[in-house]
Amino acid sequence: MKRKGKWITGIAALTVGLLGGCDTNELIAEDVTEVRIAESVDFGRFHEHDVITYNELADVKVFADMIRNAEQQPGIVNMATPEYDVEVRYQDETVDRYYVWLGELGMPTSIMDVNDTHTVYLVPADVTDELIRLLEHE
């Protein structure tokens, strides 16, 4: 599968895959060196102010779970401004970026690859709950 499939099945180590490239069957949190998250200001750029950085394996795993468990939704979407910008950095120095619309406890979260703003993926409620707990600690 190409990297873009990782949204659905966790391909290419938490990568914003639509750039093509590596094939793998499993998303491995240990491949991620850092995850940066900030409140989004608009599509098209990563908000560099008030960035929270996660580099502990337990924290990075939450974001890996987010991507690994996301399921592509049918159709082309037109979404409102995202709530969060998420930037994932890997050991091989690649960087992937996602837009995130965080759900409420017990509800799914929506994510989007910044390189494909016409496709949205839903993250299960249990992963949303993990994300909320992680973000509340900051």
Q: Quick one: pLDDT at residue 42? A: 82
Closest listed residue to residue 20, CA positions, set 3, 43, 34:
3
Q: What is the pLDDT of residues 21-35, one digit of tens each?
A: 333 335 566 688 899
Phi-psi region of 29 (alpha: psi -120 to 50; beta: other; left: phi over 0): alpha
Domains, in order of start, for the chain: 3-136 (2.60.40.4400)
Instruction: Report which of residues 101 and 28 the model is more confident about.
Output: 101
How many helices (H) and strands (E) are present in the chain, helices listed first?
A: 3, 7
Joined together, the tokens standing for residue 90 give: 């890997």
Measured from the Cβ of residue 123, the count of other Cβ atoms closer than 10 Å reads 26
* 8 A C-beta contact, residue 68 and residue 40: no
**The model's pTM:** 0.75
Angle 57-68/125-136 helices, nearest 10 degrees?
150
